[in-house]
Structure 1
Amino acid sequence: MDNKQLGNRIVQLVGGEGNINSLVHCATRLRFKLNDRQKADKEELRKIADVLTVVEKGGQFQVVIGNKVGKVYTEIMNDHNIHNEDSANEKETIEKVGVMAKSFEYISGTFSPLIPALAGAGMIKALLAILDILNLIDINGTTYAVLNAASSGLFYFLPIFVAISAAKKLNANPFVGGAIAAGLVDPNFTALLKADGQVSFMDIPLIVTDYSSTVFPLLIAMAVYAPLERFVKKRTPDTIQLFFIPMVGILVMVPLTALVFGPFAQYISLAIGAAVTYLVAKSAILTGVIIASIWPILVILGVHWGVVPIMIDNYSRGGDIIGPITAASTFAQMGIAFGIFLRAGKNKELRSLSFAATLSGLFAGVSEPILYGIVLRYKKLIPLLLVAGSIGGAIVATFNVRVFGFVFNSLLTIPAYSPTLGYILGIGASFLSATILAFVFGTEGKKKVAADKAEKAIEDKSSKTVAALDKTYDLSAPLKGEVMPLENVDDAVFSSGAMGKGVAIEPAEGMVSAPFDGNVVTLFPTKHAIGLISENGVEVLIHIGLDTVQLGGKYFDAHVEAGSAVKKGDKLVTFDIEGIKKAGYKATTPVIVTNTAEYLDVVQTKSRFVTLEEPILTIVK
């Protein structure tokens, strides 16, 4: 259908003109604000050939249609009486409805940098458990004591690490944040736990809490400390800021956390833990089914790290049961991937993807490639995943399996769970049932047909001469920074590959330059995204930041315009990285080859850091 017909069909399926409060668009998607989201038919929208996917995020109903979004938007606005809110009003709307989303973003952003350390320490705990089972280490010896300290030290002093990361996330001084947390695990403070009688601070009753291994109190404390630091900084002469601002922060926040935030957070955490325990006692099967079912959805939405603090707080209170139940869901995802591997047949791309995803899940506990690369690609697998995860979750909950440290859910960490037999039965049931379901019911559908066509094209091309396959084109880095796989981007549209293959760059400086000689096809009015085409036909989208369309052009300056001819290295757009982050957005920049389907493959560089004009993608003709 043409752009006019497509626009009218989309309007109809989101509930009609009367259901649309406002409409804006970015470089890839139409962003509707609907009066009643229940009237929108997501399944029918996804069936439209020109619609890549549908996303509900930040109070918006987003229909992703790729490069032609501007033309479709124009047709919709010409044919319908729909309000186009300005960016400021749209941002205000999102802030009103996005308190919960922002909270999860804060928690997720705090824990993401800590995950490698948590996983490493957790794996040491699992290793010690294996050595103990095999009688290869004396648990009363000094070797065990040293290794146990190596794995437990991070968890004991976790409040300090959480405070540092949270303060950094909120653009406050991270080391002052760490100092605040250190005051709460200092021996002088913890000694008050053994004090006789009522303890008080300046005649105010003090409920002394053991803050080791806790996270909630410091998450709350840093959320208060960050604005306090900015408030004091604005009113403090430059000559004394070096010591006065940290002094005030520590002097105010340590007692305030001990008096208010600590007890409050502990009560909330205890209440949540007690609620889960109560549900398990009443109906272990139902509890396991519910937790295992919602877990993959939380992961897809990127809010699963918001549950991690609850798990960690449970470690010192008889162990955590949430983690073992979520493991059932994780192993169900691995089973889905393995079932698809067995069924994929001659589809080499799908076999390779599913096999690699299975191995990364089984031995590293990493399930995102399965969710974004397979499950979201073939929506039919979602109910199969939920059923398989629920089976294992019910078994795990029935055996009341617990874990006492942070570990990824993999084969290597099985000894960390107790009772081990109940855990093995649960994850085994999830894996086996998911494998069978995926193998039997398969991945047929629109995208399966497309994948088969792509596979046939690859096979046809592979029969050509080596010389023909050697025709490659290197795409240079349009900005300097750290390279990350596209599937790790915190945006389902980009990470799923719906827009095409590519790479993402965490920018080290705020400048985008031309990656080749060519022309500017599109420059979005807010200047956060630019589309280019090279002289030999490679189409590239450079999307600066995630959801940065909401900034309305603030922090961005364009140095070219649509239709401009550019040479490799020409300055295209400059932007303020810190300004974008302070406004609450990520500066992560996807670089997408939008006409990927026209090429044999698009291969990412192995370099972790790139400079301007250094190759980041190799395009095979």
Structure 2
Amino acid sequence: MDYSKTAAGVLQGVGGEENVSSLVHCATRLRFVLKDESKADTAAVKATPGVVTVAQAGGQYQVVIGNDVPDVFAEIGKISKLGAASADGAATDAPKGNLFNRFISMISSIFTPVLWALAGTGLLKAFLAAAVTFNWITTDTTTYAVLNALSDAFINFLPIALSITAARYFKANEWTSLAIAGALVYPTMAGLVGQPGLTFFGIPFTMVSYVSSVIPIIVVVWLQSHAEKFLYHVLPGAVKRFMTPMIVVLFAVPLVFVVIGPISDLLGGGLGKGIGWVFDNAPWAGGAIMGGLWQVFVIFGLHWGLVPLFTLEFQTTGQILLVGPVFAAVLAQAAAVAGVWVRARNKNLKSLAAPATLSGFLAGITEPAIYGINLPLKRPFAFGIVGGAIGGAIIGIGGVFAKAFVVPSGLALPALFGNGNMIMLIIGLGVAIVVPFLLTAIVGFVEPAEEAAPAPASAENDLVVLSPLDGTVVDLSETPDAAFAEGALGDGVAILPRSGALYAPFDATIAAAFPTGHAIGLRHADGAEVLIHIGIDTVKLAGQHFDVKVTTGQQVKAGDLLLEFDGDAIEKAGYDLTTPIVVTNGELYPAITDRASGPVSHGEPLFTAVSVESAAVTA
């Protein structure tokens, strides 16, 4: 995947940076909150190389990338002002839509930044529990004490982590939120849990445990955000910076102890008992629902609404019954795509199925399998639901649970070891894997026709690149940027422009029209790819002084106007206008010949990109 092209295509497709309220990413998706979803060109986004599919759910416009999503997210941060701040869950505008969608969006934004740390430490705890079970380590050693602290601390102090992400989401002061969370898990306060006769200025209250809690900190940070707005408005400027956090902490923490905490504990306890009742009285039903429908929840982004239930169940019962059947759901979809891998004759389908299978089984990342293969083929996805439901029901009957929050996957299985009926766990997972695999491999699916392979480059594939600018040709090595000067980004030439119009140098598809206007990527029908980068470091102008006339995916003819720029303004802003024009896929076009020199006008021959076949014949 070319991350920069994918990033540019996605950002263009969602309506540009100006249409984005916030952007975060999870394990496999870019999660946009758009100001106006009608401005998004979903077809163009789906057609962007590297994009698996698009899902619109939970108040978010979700672009599924797969395991490479952090790299695409980072590239979006380079070509726009989106990224770093919103990566931690901040939202510049409140999410739109109904109350349910807004709730899902809130939970997603608050939990996304902490999810992998939570899952990673949970997995470590699972491995540690397995080591104790198999007598590889004993609990009376300092080694165990250290490892237990490493694996247990994050879930214990979860309110502190959520105070930061919630503050960023609700636009509250992070450090005041941290002070509130710190008070909730302060050792002295924790020591008062369960003790009778507690009062605060004569007001009786019951101290509950805030270890691993979720609801109290989210609620109080939401209240904090509103209190801060009010206090900043009414307090004098000379004192509001230190008086505001003092007042907020003074009122917020007792409010949690006296009101919010006991109510949330009551609700959480009731919810935990409700979950326990289902798994006590109809465990097969609870297991079948979680095992069969979990991946459907994932498609619509609704699984985020269940994540707090996991932590609430753990807080109230010390175990998570809901997680066991989800292992069946995840491994069932991985098994279904493995069946596609075995049965498919289409080479492209096989090449997609192989990494999707490994990703699903080992890491529990099923989006590439679901969106790239199982869902488009329909039957494998349905077979996965069937296998997950049956396997989940069996695991539910076995009363299997986890003692740590983990992302269900093959590597996380130790989290279930020794917790419940292990025979039923093995049978349930076996059914979840074998049933969808055999159904997919034997019953099969409607396989897409094999696309004709592109013709290899030949002498006729040599490409004459016309000058896209009026200006003066200089050697690429004179470019004041090491990456271009040393040819790291490809061979070609550079031009010092004398006018502010950029034209297409050949008939092409716009591979990347950067929203910032500083660069254009073009792809010829024979496969040559050319990058035109106007000026050095001009991406920092964030689109100022550039007017892009084309969009990613658009077909253009040689001589078509691609963009206009104000060269004088760019130079006055302190940027060098030297413009490299390079061939970026040197493996297909390894040589550049017939380079122009001196003054050149747009439309005149600039250089010839020699195909690999021509180069071989010449050699």
TM-score interval, normalised by the smaller of the two chains: 0.5 to 0.7
Separation in structure 2 between the aligned mates of residue 115 and residue 515 of structure 1, nearest angstrom: 45
Query: Helix, strand or coil: the match of 2:238?
Result: helix
Kindly provide the amino acid, as one letter, of the partner of residue 174 in structure 1.
E
Task: Report the Cα offset of residue 276 of structure 1.
Answer: 1.8
Written as runs of structure 1 = structure 2, the 5 A alignment for 1:588-607 is: none
Separation in structure 2 between the aligned mates of residue 139 and residue 239 of structure 1, nearest angstrom: 55
Structure 2, unpaired ranges of 5+: 1-35, 44-51, 63-92, 466-500, 530-541, 551-559, 568-586, 589-611, 614-619
Task: Report the Cα offset of residue 131 of structure 1.
Answer: 2.3
Separation in structure 1 between the aligned mates of residue 428 and residue 383 of structure 2, nearest angstrom: 16
Contact 2:122 2:405 in 1 (8 A): yes
Q: Provide the residue aligned with 1:508 in structure 2.
A: none
- Match 1:434 to one of 410, 433, 436: 436
Separation in structure 2 between the aligned mates of residue 180 and residue 515 of structure 1, nearest angstrom: 56
Contact 2:56 2:300 in 1 (8 A): no
Q: Provide the residue aligned with 2:124 in structure 1.
A: 124
Query: Helix, strand or coil: the match of 1:403?
Result: coil
Separation in structure 2 between the aligned mates of residue 529 and residue 301 of structure 1, nearest angstrom: 34
Separation in structure 1 between the aligned mates of residue 566 and residue 357 of structure 2, nearest angstrom: 43
In structure 2, relative to structure 1, the CA distance for the partners of 1:443 and 1:173 (3 Å cut) is: farther
Deviations 1:50-100 (A, max 9, x none): xx99966479999xxxxxxxxxxxxxxxxxxxxxxxxxxxxx9994x5211
Query: Helix, strand or coil: the match of 1:409?
Result: coil
In structure 2, relative to structure 1, the CA distance for the partners of 1:125 and 1:26 (3 Å cut) is: same
Contact 2:59 2:105 in 1 (8 A): no
- Match 1:560 to one of 522, 544, 547: 547
In structure 2, relative to structure 1, the CA distance for the partners of 1:392 and 1:176 (3 Å cut) is: same
Q: Provide the residue aligned with 2:450 in structure 1.
A: 453
In structure 2, relative to structure 1, the CA distance for the partners of 1:407 and 1:466 (3 Å cut) is: farther
Written as runs of structure 1 = structure 2, the 5 A alignment for 1:143-542 is: 143-193=143-193, 195=195, 197-316=196-315, 317-345=317-345, 347-417=346-416, 418-419=419-420, 420-444=422-446, 448-449=447-448, 452-454=449-451, 457-458=452-453, 461=455, 464=456, 534=522, 536=524
Deviations 1:386-423 (A, max 9, x none): 21110011001000111110112222222221133332
Separation in structure 2 between the aligned mates of residue 568 and residue 108 of structure 1, nearest angstrom: 40
Separation in structure 1 between the aligned mates of residue 110 and residue 528 of structure 2, nearest angstrom: 36
Separation in structure 2 between the aligned mates of residue 438 and residue 394 of structure 1, nearest angstrom: 21
Q: Provide the residue aligned with 1:26 in structure 2.
A: 39
Separation in structure 2 between the aligned mates of residue 54 and residue 225 of structure 1, nearest angstrom: 35
Query: Helix, strand or coil: the match of 1:247?
Result: helix
Kindly provide the amino acid, as one letter, of the partner of residue 124 in structure 1.
L
Q: Provide the residue aligned with 2:24 in structure 1.
A: none
In structure 2, relative to structure 1, the CA distance for the partners of 1:138 and 1:366 (3 Å cut) is: same
Kindly provide the amino acid, as one letter, of the partner of residue 206 in structure 2.
I
Query: Helix, strand or coil: the match of 1:560?
Result: strand
Separation in structure 2 between the aligned mates of residue 558 and residue 293 of structure 1, nearest angstrom: 53
Task: Report the Cα offset of residue 194 of structure 1.
Answer: 5.0
In structure 2, relative to structure 1, the CA distance for the partners of 1:194 and 1:269 (3 Å cut) is: closer
Separation in structure 2 between the aligned mates of residue 200 and residue 403 of structure 1, nearest angstrom: 37
In structure 2, relative to structure 1, the CA distance for the partners of 1:193 and 1:515 (3 Å cut) is: farther
Separation in structure 1 between the aligned mates of residue 406 and residue 365 of structure 2, nearest angstrom: 11
Structure 1, unpaired ranges of 5+: 1-22, 31-51, 63-91, 474-513, 541-554, 572-599, 602-619
In structure 2, relative to structure 1, the CA distance for the partners of 1:561 and 1:267 (3 Å cut) is: same
Q: Provide the residue aligned with 1:40 in structure 2.
A: none
Separation in structure 2 between the aligned mates of residue 570 and residue 380 of structure 1, nearest angstrom: 55
Task: Report the Cα offset of residue 245 of structure 1.
Answer: 2.1
Task: Report the Cα offset of residue 362 of structure 1.
Answer: 1.8
Q: TM-score, normalised by structure 2?
A: 0.61
Task: Report the Cα offset of residue 327 of structure 1.
Answer: 1.2
Separation in structure 2 between the aligned mates of residue 120 and residue 302 of structure 1, nearest angstrom: 22
Count of residue correspondences = 432
Separation in structure 2 between the aligned mates of residue 154 and residue 229 of structure 1, nearest angstrom: 28
Deviations 1:506-549 (A, max 9, x none): xxxxxxxx999689999xxxx99999884857999xxxxxxxxx
Separation in structure 1 between the aligned mates of residue 547 and residue 230 of structure 2, nearest angstrom: 39
Task: Report the Cα offset of residue 160 of structure 1.
Answer: 0.6
Separation in structure 1 between the aligned mates of residue 375 and residue 519 of structure 2, nearest angstrom: 26
Separation in structure 2 between the aligned mates of residue 162 and residue 372 of structure 1, nearest angstrom: 30
Task: Report the Cα offset of residue 376 of structure 1.
Answer: 2.8
Separation in structure 2 between the aligned mates of residue 24 and residue 404 of structure 1, nearest angstrom: 41
Separation in structure 2 between the aligned mates of residue 275 and residue 359 of structure 1, nearest angstrom: 36
Separation in structure 2 between the aligned mates of residue 536 and residue 281 of structure 1, nearest angstrom: 63
Contact 1:339 1:438 in 2 (8 A): yes
Separation in structure 1 between the aligned mates of residue 243 and residue 131 of structure 2, nearest angstrom: 51
Contact 2:57 2:301 in 1 (8 A): no
Task: Report the Cα offset of residue 328 of structure 1.
Answer: 1.1
Contact 1:319 1:402 in 2 (8 A): yes
Quick check: which one's helix share is greater?
Answer: 1
In structure 2, relative to structure 1, the CA distance for the partners of 1:381 and 1:285 (3 Å cut) is: same
Separation in structure 2 between the aligned mates of residue 353 and residue 416 of structure 1, nearest angstrom: 29
Task: Report the Cα offset of residue 255 of structure 1.
Answer: 1.2
Q: Provide the residue aligned with 1:579 in structure 2.
A: none
In structure 2, relative to structure 1, the CA distance for the partners of 1:225 and 1:119 (3 Å cut) is: same
Separation in structure 2 between the aligned mates of residue 404 and residue 469 of structure 1, nearest angstrom: 61
Separation in structure 2 between the aligned mates of residue 539 and residue 281 of structure 1, nearest angstrom: 63
Separation in structure 1 between the aligned mates of residue 257 and residue 154 of structure 2, nearest angstrom: 21
In structure 2, relative to structure 1, the CA distance for the partners of 1:437 and 1:231 (3 Å cut) is: farther
Task: Report the Cα offset of residue 243 of structure 1.
Answer: 1.4
Task: Report the Cα offset of residue 250 of structure 1.
Answer: 1.4
Contact 2:402 2:415 in 1 (8 A): yes
Judge which range, 230-239 or 264-273, deviates more.
Answer: 230-239
Separation in structure 2 between the aligned mates of residue 343 and residue 356 of structure 1, nearest angstrom: 15
Contact 1:27 1:529 in 2 (8 A): no
Separation in structure 2 between the aligned mates of residue 162 and residue 378 of structure 1, nearest angstrom: 39
Task: Report the Cα offset of residue 569 of structure 1.
Answer: 8.3
Contact 2:518 2:543 in 1 (8 A): no
Contact 1:159 1:181 in 2 (8 A): yes
Separation in structure 2 between the aligned mates of residue 174 and residue 100 of structure 1, nearest angstrom: 26
In structure 2, relative to structure 1, the CA distance for the partners of 1:222 and 1:287 (3 Å cut) is: same
In structure 2, relative to structure 1, the CA distance for the partners of 1:565 and 1:329 (3 Å cut) is: same
Separation in structure 2 between the aligned mates of residue 288 and residue 315 of structure 1, nearest angstrom: 17
Written as runs of structure 1 = structure 2, the 5 A alignment for 1:544-583 is: 560=547, 562=549, 565-566=561-562
Judge which range, 155-164 or 123-132, deviates more.
Answer: 123-132
In structure 2, relative to structure 1, the CA distance for the partners of 1:470 and 1:176 (3 Å cut) is: farther
Contact 2:176 2:249 in 1 (8 A): yes
Kindly provide the amino acid, as one letter, of the partner of residue 453 in structure 1.
E
Q: Provide the residue aligned with 1:75 in structure 2.
A: none
Q: TM-score, normalised by structure 1?
A: 0.61
Separation in structure 2 between the aligned mates of residue 372 and residue 256 of structure 1, nearest angstrom: 45
Kindly provide the amino acid, as one letter, of the partner of residue 120 in structure 1.
G
Kindly provide the amino acid, as one letter, of the partner of residue 320 in structure 1.
I
Kindly provide the amino acid, as one letter, of the partner of residue 441 in structure 1.
V
Contact 1:520 1:533 in 2 (8 A): no
Which structure is larger by alpha-carbon Rg, 1 or 2?
Answer: 2
Contact 1:533 1:539 in 2 (8 A): no
Contact 2:194 2:206 in 1 (8 A): no
Query: Helix, strand or coil: the match of 1:212?
Result: coil
Query: Helix, strand or coil: the match of 2:327?
Result: helix
